[in-house]
Amino acid sequence: MESESDLREQLATCARIFTMQGMLGLHGHVSVYQPETKRVLITPGAGSDKANLRDADMVAADLDGKPFDGKGRPPLEWPIHMKLHAARADAIAVAHLHPPYGTLFAIAKREYKPVTLHSGIFAKGVSIYTEPHLITTPERGEKLQKVIGDRRAAFMRGHGITVVARDLKELLHSTLVLENDALKTLQAATLGEVGTFSAEETSALEKSINIEMVAPRTWIYFSTLEARWDRQPASGKSELFP
């Protein structure tokens, strides 16, 4: 079991990387769950300076969104996180973001299909949550969780995305893969028909990807960039998978 202080530090790093990439700033949040203690650590809500989050800024709350020790307050849409952490043994890390490109699949009527070798991890597809509201109640959180089922992510109509992973490194990697695919689809579409993979190819891709090996590399690469980021507004948005 990882110590809470390690998890806090990893969570803060993950949030700063997403912020650097222009994917979590005003309204996004990320959480990590410790099943042994049933404690959720989550980034604070709108208004806080996400580029400078540190371990002590993480809010610890239970699965009903109540902060431990009455310190801090989880963000308004905490049920997104808590319902996923509670329902799935493999939902240790959850991100709710409104990223520049992924969010477009929550606006345009186009089904998401993997377009790069990386996105074989989304072979099961990405769910769509169609109700146009914030997830501010446990009931809505449960609905979203059911829509996601055993998939890795959902697009939320007119709103943003939610991504689920087994740890924070996998969460970072898979969220960036999805954003990269969204951007590439958008741009490739202006060139002509977008090439996708057959069912066999997607399945073969999924099997060929060793996410335990690649996710830590993605983590190291982006945390190196984040460590030297000057935190100038908009200065840090790197290409996703160059």
Query: For residues 33 and 219, which CB has a smaller minimum distance to a copy of itself in the complex?
Result: 219
Query: In terms of Cα–Cα distance, which of 182, 173, 176 is closest to 217?
Result: 173
Minimum distance, C-beta of residue 231 to a copy of itself, in the bound complex (Å)? 7
Query: For residues 56 and 107, which CB has a smaller minimum distance to a copy of itself in the complex?
Result: 107
The sign one gets for the Cα dihedral 12, 224, 95, 169 is negative
Residue type, 113: K
Angle among Cα 124, 97, 168 to the nearest 5 degrees reads 70
Minimum distance, C-beta of residue 19 to a copy of itself, in the bound complex (Å)? 8
Asked if 127 and 84 count as a contact pair (C-beta separation under 8 A), the reply is: no
Asked if 152 and 126 count as a contact pair (C-beta separation under 8 A), the reply is: yes
DSSP 8-class letter at 55: G
Query: In terms of Cα–Cα distance, which of 213, 123, 219, 121 is closest to 173?
Result: 219
Query: For residues 86 and 215, which CB has a smaller minimum distance to a copy of itself in the complex?
Result: 215
Query: For residues 3 and 198, which CB has a smaller minimum distance to a copy of itself in the complex?
Result: 198
Query: For residues 33 and 78, which CB has a smaller minimum distance to a copy of itself in the complex?
Result: 78
Query: For residues 28 and 65, which CB has a smaller minimum distance to a copy of itself in the complex?
Result: 28
Minimum distance, C-beta of residue 22 to a copy of itself, in the bound complex (Å)? 4
Question: Beta strand 153-156 with 127-129: parallel, antiparallel or unpaired?
Answer: parallel
Minimum distance, C-beta of residue 172 to a copy of itself, in the bound complex (Å)? 12
Instruction: Please give the structure tokens belonging to residue 199.
Output: 């069912």
Minimum distance, C-beta of residue 39 to a copy of itself, in the bound complex (Å)? 27
Residue type, 131: E
Minimum distance, C-beta of residue 178 to a copy of itself, in the bound complex (Å)? 14
DSSP 8-class letter at 113: -
Place of tokens 């806080």: 48
